[in-house]
Amino acid sequence: MAGRRNGNAARIRGPQSALTDFLAANNISAQQIRDDYLRRRTQAEEDAAAAEPEEDEEAMREEQEAAEAAIRNARTRRRRGEEVKATIKKGKGKAKDKGKGKKKKKGSDDEDESDFEDDVMNMYKKVVKLPGQLENCELCSKRFTVTPYSKTGPDGGLLCTPCGKELAKDAKVGEAKPKAKGPMGRKRRKIESDRLDGKIQHGAKTLQQLCIEKVAKHAGDIDDLGDLPPQVLERLSEIFTKNRVMKPKVLDLFLRADVETIVVHDCAYLGSDDFKKMFAIQPLVEKVVLGNACQFKNDTMEYMTERATKLQHLHLYAANLISDAVWTDFFMKRGENMKTIKLAWLDAAFEDKQVEDLVKYCPNLERLKLKRCRRLGFDSIIAISHLRTLRHLSLQVSQHIPNEILIQLIRDIGPNLETLSLEDFKDLDDIVIEAIGFYCRKLKKFRMKDNDTVTDSALAALFSNWLNPPLHVLDVSINRDVDNSNPDGPEEAIGIAAASFTAMMAHSASKIAYLNVSSCRHISYSALIDVFDGKKQYPELKEIDLSFVSAVDTLVLAGLFKSAPQLRKVVAFGCFQIEDVVVPAGVVVIGVPRAQDAIEKFGDGAVEEALGRMVAMYADSNHMEIEAAA
């Protein structure tokens, strides 16, 4: 038994791998592998020792050049990195143009040296991280996540998003961007926009105007406007409003304790606290004009009532968050001092009861404007008729108002009125016009707009027999019959037609400065030629709106230039008969419907010169037509 166990033990073998079996099968041993390796290494050392004396000097020279190039490149990268870091920290975004060397000859030593430097730099470049991995910013050392849009820094590392933006901004500065050449540049569009708004500029701008425009351009960088006069502050407020920059920070520039007015035409960016700040800084304010005051709430109104003890003039538009009770409280506490109240775009509150309270508690009111107040009805008109101190009245209501109530209003307050504006009174008829002619004898401004009931004969009788002095402002626009099936209108003309147009121009010829007959499409060509014949004179006429009066043509416009020596602005949208008009110096014609022309035309010569050129062009065109017919 013992012998069998010893024999089995002698035959025990450990596990053999496939490699061991392969080496044994091919008669390969570990000793043989070691001997072959030692022999190859000895042979390589002998070969290297034999070649060393020949290559030693050249290798040392190459190593020295490589080291010097690496040092130079390292210094250059370090210097550039410091410059970029300093630029980004200062936030000055000034680009530094890289100087370009002269073109080198192909195969020169400089080119070889440059290639060698690039190779050395490529050897020492860091491995770029893949998107999604974390990396430290080369400039600010902040940890950030790499994205496909990460920028590369001056030393080859990656930059975080803020540093990348700054570096891109630096690269863009100094690159000359070609100006876009179009049919109309930005400056020209600005000029045209101002002229369409009624701001007509002839010649060079004044120093004050240039300063105002410069201040408006940099509104966000101004800390104080100084002691500017109120009229300049109001003009700045208008520009800031148009540019939509009237925000809480900018509002502080206009609040001064020594100024008696607050004028902000667009309060869309202002909140309730901003309104309270106005009256906290200017408690002695007398005039408040706030347009688009959508955040003017009850608490703001109550604060104004308590603080603004000297308030006399209030213009408030779109303040729909003020309740009826707060309006009544304001009239009770401040109504005695009020001289002007102008309210518009009130939909949610302010009803007939509030107008009655206004009349009750504001006995000294001289100017009242109520436009687009949706809840007002005929009770409000009856209440207003008791305001015997009114001198200026403007009304625009959406509800139906009987003519009897309008006649009562005109009979009670008409004798003292200097301004009467009635808009969108669709049912106002000839009886009301007759009452205006009988009771209103002091008007300087008259507006009757958007009516399709009053006849041409009634208006002609009004202006022919009216004992009122000549009007300064006359607006009778959109008074015409509206019937698509009968575009020429009924036999008895509705609105402003030939007879009434001739009569009103004869009545107010000496004083009229602003005339609006827009959309009065029943005015005949013969009436226009008779009124603007070049012989009748309108010495004060400065602005006229003839838009959509289809009979207006080039000849009518020429007669207008001759008859109105002080004319500055003509609006003629939709007048398709105007062709080849020559505008005198100092006059702007807006809306001439010629696709190839600008929307306005500006004069550069005297009236006689302009008329002569127009006559010459008219004669040439007629001569060409005669020849073509022959």
pLDDT digits (tens, 9 = 90+) for 269-295: 999 999 999 999 999 999 999 999 999
Query: Minimum mean pLDDT among 88-102, 167-181, 430-444, 584-598: which range?
Result: 88-102
Alpha helices of 308-429 — where are they, by DSSP H? 324-334, 352-361, 378-384, 403-413
- For residue 194, the one-letter residue type is D
Burial 480-502 (b: 16+ CB within 10 A, else e): bbeeeeeeebeeebbbbbbbbbb
Average pLDDT, the chain: 80
Q: Which residues contact 173 (CB under 8 A, 6 or more apart)?
A: 93, 94, 95
CA 141 remoteness from chain centre: 41
- Three-class DSSP category at 623: helix
Residue 336 is classified by DSSP as: G
Confidence tier at 225 by pLDDT (50, 70, 90): confident
The count of domains in the chain is: 1
560 vs 541: CA distance, rounded Å = 10
Q: Determine the pLDDT at residue 92.
A: 43
- For residue 456, the one-letter residue type is D
Predicted TM-score of the model (pTM): 0.66
155 vs 309: CA distance, rounded Å = 68
Average pLDDT over residues 109-126: 53
Whether pLDDT at 444 is above 70: yes
Whether pLDDT at 129 is above 50: yes
628 vs 484: CA distance, rounded Å = 37
Q: Is residue 317 one of the residues assigned to a domain?
A: yes
Look up the domain containing 332 and give its range: 188-402+513-523+535-626
**What is the three-state SS of 183-195?**
CCCHHHHHHHHHH
- Three-class DSSP category at 249: helix
CATH code for the domain of 246: 3.80.10.10
Q: 601 has which bridge partners?
A: 589
Which residue would you say has higher pLDDT here, 514 or 172?
Answer: 514
Q: Which residues contact 259 (CB under 8 A, 6 or more apart)?
A: 230, 233, 282, 285
Q: Is residue 381 one of the residues assigned to a domain?
A: yes
Q: Is residue 51 one of the residues assigned to a domain?
A: no
Q: Which stretches of 451-568 are assigned E, i.e. beta strand?
A: 473-475, 514-516, 543-545
403 vs 121: CA distance, rounded Å = 93
Both structure tokens of 599 = 């929307």
Closest among 474, 479, 572 to 522, alpha carbons compared: 479
Which residue would you say has higher pLDDT here, 141 or 355?
Answer: 355
Q: Which residues contact 491 (CB under 8 A, 6 or more apart)?
A: none
Tally the C-alpha atoms within 13 A of residue 242's C-alpha that lie toward its C-beta. 12
Q: 378 has which bridge partners?
A: none
Both structure tokens of 306 = 């308590």
Q: Is residue 562 one of the residues assigned to a domain?
A: yes
Confidence tier at 627 by pLDDT (50, 70, 90): very low
Whether pLDDT at 392 is above 90: yes
Confidence tier at 108 by pLDDT (50, 70, 90): very low
Whether pLDDT at 8 is above 60: no
Q: Is residue 225 one of the residues assigned to a domain?
A: yes
Whether pLDDT at 596 is above 50: no
Both structure tokens of 255 = 């609040």
pLDDT in tens, 611-624: 666 556 555 554 44
Q: Is residue 364 one of the residues assigned to a domain?
A: yes
Q: Is residue 505 one of the residues assigned to a domain?
A: no
Four-point Cα dihedral 302, 303, 305, 306, nearest 10 = 120
Q: Which residue has the tokens 């207003």?
A: 384
Whether pLDDT at 1 is above 80: no
Tell me how far CA of residue 507 lies from CA of 16, 469, 501, in angstroms: 128, 8, 10
Q: Is residue 615 one of the residues assigned to a domain?
A: yes
- Percent above pLDDT 70 for the chain: 73
Alpha helices of 91-141 — where are they, by DSSP H? 109-124
